[in-house]
Structures are given as C-alpha cells and as structure tokens.
A and B are shown apart, each in its own frame.
Chain A
Amino acid sequence: MTVTAVEAQRAPAGRGRARARSARRQAVLALPAVGVVALLLAGWQLYADLGDVDVTILPSPSRVVSAGWDARDVLWANTLATLRATLLGFAFSLTVGFALSVLIDLSGILRRALMPPLIISQTLPIIAIAPLVVIWFGFGLTPKILLVALVTFFAITVALVQGYQAAEPEAEQLLRSMGASRLRVFRMVRLPTAMPYFFAGLRISITYAVVGAIFAEYAGATEGLGIFMQNAKNAFRTDLVLAAVFVSATLTLALFAVTILAERLLIPWTRVARGGERPA
C-alpha cells in the first residue's frame, strides 16, 4: 500500500505528458470521420461546379459559406435568439424531468399514473403540435420553451428513474441502519447512483433541443434560426438556408460538448472506476 501512496504522489508530474499523449490518440481516432466528411464536401463542391446546377436548387459548399459570412450579423442575431430559446427550454425540461422522476420514484401508484401519459406525450407528431402551441401561446418565448421541453424531458426522466433503481439495496440498508430518513437515503444514495444514467439521458436529449427550438420558430416566431430559414427559403436563398442548417448543427455539437464536459467535472468517480486517471 505504500507503493500506491508513492504512485499517487508522483502522478501529477506525469499527468501533463499523459494528457498530451491521449489528445494525440484522440486526434488519430477522429481521422476517419474527418476524412468521410471532407470527401462528401468535395464531391458536393465538384457536382455543383461542374454539373451546371441552379444555385437556388443546390449551391456549392463554398457559396454557402460565403453567403453565410456575408449575412453573419443577421445570422448571429438569430442564432442568439435560438440559443436563448434552447437553453431556457432545456432548463425548464431539466426541472420538469427531474420533478417527474422523483414523483415516479416515490410510489408505485404515481408511477402507474404518470408513465402512460408521459409515453403518450412522446407519440405526438411535433409537426402538427408546433403550430397549435404557437396559436395557444403566441409568438413569444413560451411556445418555444414548451416545445423544447416536450422533445427533451422524456429521455431525462426515464434515465433518472432507471438510475434510482440501480441503487444498491445494501447501501440503502446501511444508511437506514445509521438512522437516515427516506429523503436522506434518496439524496445520499439514489440520486448519486443515478448521475451516470442522467448524463447518458442528457446526451440524447440535448441533440433534440436545438431542433425542437427551430421547429417552434418555424411554426411562427419573430426571430430565430427557424424563421430565418423560412424567410430564406421563401426568397429562394437556398444558400442561406444551408448556412443556417450548418449553424444549427454546430450549435448542437457545441451543446453536446458542454454536456460531456459537465459530466467529466461533476461525476469524476466514474472515470476512476473505469481505471481512468487518478484524482488529485
């Protein structure tokens, strides 16, 4: 055990080098995907240039980039609007998703009462619901928040409920033997157990969030990428539509990266359990 103690003290010195090595390895692992995307873009560019295609039907990637760059001010303003709707909607979704998971975990009756309507909520076609929600709640933020929440809360709730159930009965018995209340057992055992599950659900639902916001804007809004796309389409500016598509994809990727980062910061013990780096 003294050997391990020495190792632990030595670890910080070697950590920088290990991190650089792992970054290089990750870059190499990403090469095939980068290659495929580059190949597709190159094929698209050649086809648009040489195939004499109408730019209102299929503009080349370079044209999409330059059109997007020229419209960067208005694109940026609309991106911010969409980002705001996405984040507010997702925050609402997290709150509701967590509250529902707690209620479901609380009792079998609540579980049987709540699960069927929640599942039904996921069968509704968003394309039909979105315009209705706009009719009911207007062109402001409210319908966007509701629609983002509708498409994202379910994965979060299901992941949390499953996570609570993964708690070790022995750990719960131990805490009860110490005199812990049910609320305390939930807070100290069930909730932390559910965290890795929660982040798995979060990764799924965040990829729906931006799309949900754009859908809501498409159905009616004064600003945002959704309404920007619709206006560009109506003006036959296919290049600007695609530029907005590119921006929304980038937005989703950025939010996805944030969830990965949050997971690393908030549940470091899972990496330890998998034999990852030593904690400080």
Chain B
Amino acid sequence: MSVPRLEIRGLSKSFGDLEVLRDLRLRADRGEFVSILGPSGSGKSTTFSILTGAVAADGGEVLVDGRPLEQADHAPFAFMPQKDVLLPWRRIEANLTLGLEVQGVSKAEARRRVRPLVARFGLAGFERHYPAQLSGGMRQRAALLRTVVQEREVLLLDEPFGALDALTRTEMQRWLEAMWERDRWTVLLITHDVREAVFLSDRIYVLSPRPATVIREVEVPLPRPRTLETLADPRAARIEAELLESLLGDRAPAA
C-alpha cells in the first residue's frame, strides 16, 4: 500500500486531569474524503488544534506523506473553523486572500489566484462586499474558498455547516460534494451529523466519548457523484444505522 497522505499514530492529550485523546489512530489517503464522527466534547476539535499547532500533543505522531509533522517546511494543513471567522473589516476579496498573504504571497498574485475560484464558489459580484452583507451559506463558501486556495496537502474542516439552517446545510453538502468530485482534495471533516458524514465521505471514523479513541472505521462504498438519491440507497441507510448504533452504543434512550 502507498504511503498515506496523512497518518495519525497513537495521539494522546490531557488537559490537567481531563484525558481528551487516548491512542488516536487514523489515516487519509491522497484524494480521500475522511470524516471523524463523534459525540460532542469528544476531542475532535482538540485533534485539529494539535494538527494546526495550536495545542501540543502529549504523545503520538503525525505523518504527512510519511514525514513527521515537525520536519515539514510549511504547515501542510488548511484549516476551516466552525465559525466562518471572515474578518469583518476586510472585504470578501481580502478575506479570500488572507491565507496567501500570510504565506508571503504578494497581494496582486494572491488576487490572481483567487479570481478563477470566485465564480465556482458562487461569489462572483461580491468581491467588494463586506462579510456582514453576505448570507450564511455564502459566508461559508467564502470560508471554504479561503481554505482551498492555500493549496495545502490536507483540508481540515471543523463542522463547517454546523451553524447553518437545515435546508442551507443540505444545499452546501451537495455543493461541497460536487466541488470535491472535481478537485479531489484530501479532506478530514469533523462532524456529528451522521447523514452528512455518509453523504460526503469515502471513509468514516467513529470516536468514543472522552477520552476519544477510534471505536469504529466504516467504508462508504456508495457510487459517486452522489445526489439526493444516494441518501435513499438502502446501503446508505444501512451505514447510517450502523454509525448511529456505534455512536449511541447500548445507551438506553433518555426517559
């Protein structure tokens, strides 16, 4: 088997007495869409914090293309947080170029690279607007564009659609799936939406409650491109049921 794009080996982390991650292991191959599914507060976001360098792990290894993260000459991850955190004082265009600017790319060059993506992300005509003037869905697309244009090895998406209303969320999931079909980014998606995970992923890791460790790994062999009908596929329903069962375990429904 080839070297995976991203491999996490035995990651562990405690905050004081609170053990958050225990021997977390997962991998993502090049061009693979992988989701991490887990209950709230199970350490999913901590995992991303470790990957982006905001938090130091207590133990374990992160390998990108077989090389330890510490040896990488640049940050291999492009991170999209739960909130879109578009900077309100920057117009959309300046928000989209933010990551490139931080990388040291000139403003003109950054704009040149962003420009062809703007229309594909449904933001044409809004380059000169401020974030406050955009709808929730548009803001989320802008945040994803800002992430993608950094051209990093792996995209880290932390519940990107969590704050959207149900209809917009479904629309965004379909849109993201279509975008991914074309570009085949390597994606690590955090979610607690089972249906979202099934619809988008090639593979899904289910985490236990704290301390988080992988309790289940599920392949999603559904054909692509995926549509609303994909969700009606009995195989999809079976996977969903399976995931829900491992998430809820033998916990009895609350009385």
Least distance between B74 CB and chain A CB atoms (Å)? 7
- Per-residue B-contact encoding for A261-280, CB less than 8 Å = 1, 0 else: 00000010100110000111
Closest to B45 in A: A173
Report which of B77, B83, B150 forms a contact with A170, defined as CB distance below 8 A. B83
* A278 with B133, Cβ < 8 A, contacts A176-B54, A177-B53 known: yes
The answer to whether B71 has its CB under 8 Å from any CB of chain A is no
A188 contacts B87, C-beta separation under 8 Å: yes
User: Is residue A179 within 8 Å, beta carbon to beta carbon, of the partner chain?
Assistant: yes
The answer to whether B87 touches A189, judged by C-beta atoms less than 8 angstroms apart, is: yes
Cβ-defined contact, B130 with A269, below 8 A = yes
Q: Beta-carbon contacts of B79-121 to A below 8 Å, as 1s and 0s?
A: 1011101011101000000110011000000000000000000
Which A residues are CB-close (under 8 A) to B184?
A: none
A interface residues, how many (CB within 8 angstroms): 27
Report the Cα distance A178→B143, complex, angstroms.
13
Interface: A184 (CB within 8 A): yes
Q: How far is the CB of B17 from chain A (nearest CB, A)?
A: 23
Q: How far is the CA of A188 from the CA of B82 in the complex (A)?
A: 20
Is B129 on the interface with A (CB-CB < 8 A)?
Answer: yes
B87 to A171, Cβ gap below 8 A? yes
- In the assembled complex, A1 has its CB within 8 A of some CB on chain B: yes
- The residue among A176, A177, A188, A189 with the most chain B CB atoms within 10 A of its own CB is A177
A234 CB to nearest chain B CB (Å): 52
Q: Which residue of A lies closest to B83 (CB)?
A: A170
**CB-CB contacts of A167-198 with B at 8 A, as 1s and 0s?**
01011011111111000100011001001000
- B55-91 at interface with A (beta carbon < 8 Å): 74-75, 77-79, 81-83, 85, 87-89, 91
**Chain A contacts for B103, CB-based, 8 A:** 178-179
Q: Which residues of A line the B interface, CB within 8 A?
A: 1, 4-5, 8, 168, 170-171, 173-180, 184, 188-189, 192, 195, 267, 269, 272-273, 278-280
Between A and B, 9 residue pairs with Cβ closer than 8 Å are: A1-B122, A5-B126, A8-B129, A173-B54, A173-B79, A178-B78, A180-B102, A189-B87, A269-B88
